[in-house]
């Protein structure tokens, strides 16, 4: 199981679907070299430089954290069951209520739809909060998600970041 990266007064709690096998092996979120999370985070302006997965402990100093919907590692998110995602969504809502980030940013629209029974959800801000936090759905940064490129993922993260400007903790 991969530990969450948390801190006080988070602006954004990024939420992956579940850890990949490399993340589980290294203990670092989004650890697979083809994953675009860390480059997109930097290109969007959330971090002043490109962080390596092993530097995830620095995220709280930028008002950022990371968690997952489902704690079980797998080679592909498609290996998760609907039941695991629904149970993970309920547990995530409790975790978010305890951590109290300003925004929960879920990285994967299909997983979000299943975990929170929102079949029509789209990328971007959502109308209903989770655990008291605003929700923003972002593209899955996995290299397996060929529909999205690094520039388009970074642009979506940039939209989220712009929504926080002037309102950061």
pLDDT in tens, 112-164: 999 999 999 999 999 999 999 999 999 999 877 778 999 999 999 999 999 99
What is residue 167's predicted lDDT score, i.e. its pLDDT? Answer: 58
Q: How far apart are CA 154 and CA 45, in angstroms?
A: 9
Q: What is the mean pLDDT of the chain?
A: 94
Position with higher pLDDT, 169 vs 4: 4
Q: How far apart are CA 88 and CA 69, in angstroms?
A: 5
User: Does the structure show a pLDDT above 90 at 1?
Assistant: no
Q: How far apart are CA 18 and CA 15, in angstroms?
A: 9
What is residue 165's predicted lDDT score, i.e. its pLDDT? Answer: 74
Run of H or E residues at 127:
none
| Residue 67 buriedness (CB in 10 A; 0-12 / 13-18 / 19+) | buried
3-state secondary structure 131-149: CCEEEEEECCCCCCCCCCC
What is residue 151's predicted lDDT score, i.e. its pLDDT? Answer: 96
User: Residue 77 — pLDDT band, cuts 50, 70, 90?
Assistant: confident
Q: How far apart are CA 1 and CA 12, in angstroms?
A: 22
User: Residue 6 — pLDDT band, cuts 50, 70, 90?
Assistant: very high
Q: How far apart are CA 151 and CA 169, in angstroms?
A: 27
Q: What is this structure's pTM?
A: 0.95
Q: How far apart are CA 139 and CA 141, in angstroms?
A: 6
What is residue 168's predicted lDDT score, i.e. its pLDDT? Answer: 53
pLDDT in tens, 83-101: 999 999 999 999 999 999 9
């Amino acid at each position: 199981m991969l530990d969450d990266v948390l801190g006080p007064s988070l602006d954004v709690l990024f939420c992956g679907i579940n850890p990949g096998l490399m993340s589980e092996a290294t203990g670092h979120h989004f650890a697979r070299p083809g994953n675009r999370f860390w480059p997109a985070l930097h290109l969007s302006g959330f971090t002043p430089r490109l962080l390596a997965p092993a530097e995830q402990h620095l995220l709280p100093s930028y008002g950022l954290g990371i968690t997952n919907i489902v704690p079980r590692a797998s080679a592909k998110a498609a290996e998760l069951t609907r039941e695991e995602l629904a149970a993970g969504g309920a547990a995530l809502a409790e975790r978010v209520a305890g951590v109290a980030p300003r925004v929960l940013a879920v990285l994967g629209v299909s997983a979000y739809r299943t975990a929170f029974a929102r079949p029509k959800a789209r990328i971007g801000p959502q109308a209903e909060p989770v655990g008291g936090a605003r929700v923003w759905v972002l593209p899955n940064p996995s290299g397996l998600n060929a529909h999205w490129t690094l520039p388009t993922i970074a642009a979506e993260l940039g939209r989220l970041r712009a929504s926080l400007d002037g309102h950061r903790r």
